[in-house]
Amino acid sequence: NLDEVAECDYIVENVPENWQIKEPIYRRLDEICKKDTIFGVNTSCISITKVGGVTKRPDKIIGMHFMNPVY
């Protein structure tokens, strides 16, 4: 339930690397979250510009790439 994170200052997304899954999540988060909430996008191939383009806060989108092993 995305509504549970509406008051968070920083959100780390970690869903499958599929734009059809990620896009509606970011659109919804953009609607319900505070204007200064930062979104951490876990991606290796989806453009951060593309993610920011479906929000009103492209300056609050951070790209991350988790990989094994973690050091």
Domain boundaries in the chain?
Answer: 2-64
pLDDT at 57: 97
End-to-end CA distance of the chain: 31
Q: Is 65 a catalytic residue?
A: yes
Catalytic residue among 4, 16, 45, 65: 65
3-state secondary structure the chain: CHHHHCCCCEEEECCCCCHHHHHHHHHHHHHHCCCCCEEEEECCCCCHHHHHHCCCCHHHEEEECCCCCCC
**pLDDT above 90: percentage of residues in the chain:** 86
Confidence band, pLDDT 50/70/90 cuts, at residue 70: low
Superfamily of domain 2-64: NAD(P)-binding Rossmann-like Domain (3.40.50.720)
The whole-number average pLDDT for the span 41-61 is: 96
pLDDT tens digits, one per residue of 1-29:
999 999 999 999 999 999 999 999 999 99
